Amino acid sequence: MIPLDRPRLRFTADLQPLLGSIFQATNFPDIGSAKFQRAQGGDSLLVESVQSMANRLEGMAWDRASHRPVPLVEALPYVRVHRRDDPETYLTSSREEAHRLASAFVREATLDGTPMTDVIRDRLGLVKDTPLDYPRMARAVLGLDPFCLLHGVFFGRKEWLGQPKFTRAISGVIEAHDVREVVSGGRKADHVRHQLGEGGGTSEGYGSVPFHRVEWTAGEIKAMFVVDVDLLASYGLGPEITELLALIALWEIRTLLSRGLRLRTACDLEVVEEPKDLPHQAELEARIGELIAATEVSADPITVLWKG
């Protein structure tokens, strides 16, 4: 197992396209693919951004089919959001929402009749004219959803005095270096309607429409990760909780590299060189299970009712 006495743990994996040699990078509105030049020279490409990787890493611990955490971490608390007018119907959770515990669906819900803005404020100990107590707040967040300590949460509302923020403790990014454009095209064919006129055109989905696309090839593709152990330790939750959180972060990295690199329809990647020092999945899962059983972090999900 990796010693956790280092302030930050860094891992790099070399990747390549699983099919062929080209891939589709993430695209942003108005700017397209994020192409840039490193100081070393040459054209590079942001294949997957830090914010997108945070969502993908967190998603490794969630079973979308059952709307529940994967068995390894199902004993850890989180907030489930149901509809107030239909309390049996699952809507979303703090594990799926972009803002986690600060999501509007959590914030505008009630727990046993109490608004969640008040529940979170009181559990975090937010009072006027008082400095933010991060160890206390971290302990409260641990009891609501410990994944917020790994992936970050910003209680950025005026109702939450001081607007505390827990920064991301695990970060990842995928970059491609020495990239070249691959320009291709195609045609959406309509074998029924040969002429456009009354009754609907291309805007309604009829007709044959040519299109172009830009994909990429690269000299190298790298996935890079950092786990901030010092940040987790600074919350004062004790060595076992710190180890548990750090190992869950490593497990997310290991799981993403082994199962989660189909980023888009035309971007399916595989690992060609494993990160150095990253433990095997079975080793991580065994230790995580031991730590969950040994620490007092297990709790049932917290079900809240969104006003809808």
User: How do residues 28-52 score in pLDDT, each as one tens digit?
Assistant: 777 888 889 998 888 999 999 999 9
Q: Per the domain annotation, does 195 fall within a domain?
A: no
Q: Which residues, other chains included, contact 278 with Cβ-Cβ below 8 Å and sequence gap of 6+?
A: 2, 11, 250, 253, 254
Residue 210 banded pLDDT, cuts 50, 70, 90: confident
**Where does residue 180 fall: left (phi above 0), alpha (psi -120 to 50 degrees), or beta otherwise?**
beta
Provide the pLDDT for residue 233.
Answer: 96
Q: Quick check: 283 and 60 in contact, CB under 8 A?
A: no
Q: What is the pLDDT of residue 108?
A: 95
Q: Residue 108 is part of which domain span?
A: 8-185+207-306
Q: Among 226, 220, 227, 219, which residue's Cα sits nearest to residue 271?
A: 220
In a domain, 110, yes or no: yes
Q: Mean pLDDT across the stretch 224-229?
A: 97
> E-assigned strands of the chain?
8-17, 27-28, 32-37, 43-48, 62-63, 68-69, 79-83, 86-93, 109-111, 114-115, 153-154, 165-166, 170-188, 209-228, 262-264, 267-273, 302-306
- Asked whether residue 63 is assigned to any structural domain, the reply reads yes
203 vs 299, more confident: 299
Distance between CA atoms of residues 228 and 235, nearest Å? 12
Residue 202, in any domain of the structure: no
Q: Taking residues 58-72, report their average pLDDT.
A: 96
- The yes-or-no verdict on residue 4 having pLDDT over 70 is yes
C-alpha 306: how far from its chain's center? 23
CB atoms within 10 A of CB 230: 12
Domain total for the chain? 1
Please give the mean pLDDT across all residues of the chain. Answer: 93
Res 232 pLDDT > 80: yes
Mean pLDDT, range 152-175, rounded to an integer: 96
Task: Assess if residue 220 is contained within a domain.
Answer: yes
pLDDT at 74: 96
For helices 281-294 and 239-259, give the axis angle rounded to 10 degrees. Answer: 150
pLDDT at 144 exceeding the cut of 90: yes
CA 182 to chain centroid: 29
pLDDT at 201: 80
Domain presence at residue 120: yes
Q: Are 307 and 110 in contact (CB under 8 A)?
A: yes
Kindly state the tokens that stand for 232: 């987790």
Residue 204 has pLDDT above 90, yes or no: no
pLDDT given at position 296 = 87
Long-range contacts of range 127-132, CB-CB < 8 Å, 24 or more positions apart?
A: 127/161, 128/161, 130/161, 132/162, 132/164
Residue 122 forms part of a structural domain: yes
Write the burial class of residue 1 (CB in 10 Å: 0-12 exposed, 13-18 middle, 19+ buried). Answer: exposed
**Tell me, what's the pLDDT at 1?**
62
Please state the rounded mean pLDDT for residues 265-294: 94
Comparison of pLDDT for 203 and 287, the residue scoring more: 287
pLDDT band at 121 (very low <50, low <70, confident <90, very high): very high
Task: List Cβ neighbours of 20 (8 Å cut-off, separation of 6 or more).
Answer: none
Overall average pLDDT of the 119-123 stretch: 97
